[in-house]
Amino acid sequence: MTSFNDFIEKYHLDRFDEALELKSRDKIDFYNDLEAMLNTICRIFDKITTIFSLRGGQVLMSLAKLQGTEEIISKTDVMNSLNLDRREKLIHAFDFLLEHNFIEIKKKTSKFHMVKLNENDNPDFKLFREIVQKFWTSPEEEKNKSKLWSDVK
């Protein structure tokens, strides 16, 4: 099980008019699916914590988040999402992630590079993307929330 949404769908967890009844085989399946999902999360932890680039993990989080709202993501979008002031701060991270097949980059022009998570080579990224999109607040969102709050008298 590498998808949180599939898990919810399979057991109708978002349908509150139905009671969740798990008996014998279903209960075992449910437990196995849950365990498989936790296993996937653990693999994601392992991948992210061993990325040898200061902002590599942050770039992945940012891409996962942006993919929920944007069709086309550029390197500048990632930079803004992480509240960074210069693209040079992400050069090492992008190079590293590309080299290790974590991301795909399409160079449209010399300056405009489209970036996305490489889910084909890394199926675990599907669950990663779902969790990030559902629960993570990007630094840019955090900044906007704080600005909005501090501007209200």
Partner 1 sequence: MNDLSDIHPERNLESNHQDSNFFAIIKTEYLKNLFKEYVLVIMLIGLYIIYQLIMIPYEKTSAKYLFDQIVFWFLFILFLLVHFLLLSYKRFSPTLVKFLKRELQVLGFKMLRKYKTGLSFFLFNSLSIIFLMNIGISYSPNYVVTSLNIRLLLIYIFLSITIPILRGILHDKFIIKLKSPYFVRLDLQCKLIKRKEVESRMIRIFMTSNKLWSKSSDSGFKIHKEISEKRWLPRKGMFTFSSYSLGLYLYFHEYSTPINFKDHFLNIVSAIRDWDTAIKKLN
Find the shortest distance in angstroms from Cβ 53 to partner 1.
Answer: 9
- Asked if 106 and 114 touch (Cβ cutoff 8 Å), the reply is yes
Determine the interface stretch with partner 1 among 23-31, 101-109, 114-122, 143-151 (rule: CB under 8 A): 143-151
Q: What angle do CA 150, 152, 153 make, to 5 degrees?
A: 105
Q: Which is nearer to partner 1, 19 or 152 (CB)?
A: 152
- Asked if 104 and 118 touch (Cβ cutoff 8 Å), the reply is yes
Asked whether position 54 contacts partner 1 by CB under 8 A, the answer is yes
Distance separating alpha carbons of residues 152 and 131, to the nearest angstrom? 31
Beta strands in 37-151 (DSSP E): 103-107, 113-117
Q: Which of 88, 109, 120, 135 binds partner 1 (CB under 8 A)?
A: 88
Q: Which of 47, 55, 116, 126 binds partner 1 (CB under 8 A)?
A: 55
Asked whether position 92 contacts partner 1 by CB under 8 A, the answer is yes
Q: Which is nearer to partner 1, 15 or 145 (CB)?
A: 145
- Asked if 2 and 38 touch (Cβ cutoff 8 Å), the reply is no
**Structure tokens belonging to residue 62:** 């940012």
- Contacts with partner 1 by CB under 8 A lie at 54-55, 83-86, 88-89, 91-92, 139, 142-143, 145-147, 149-153
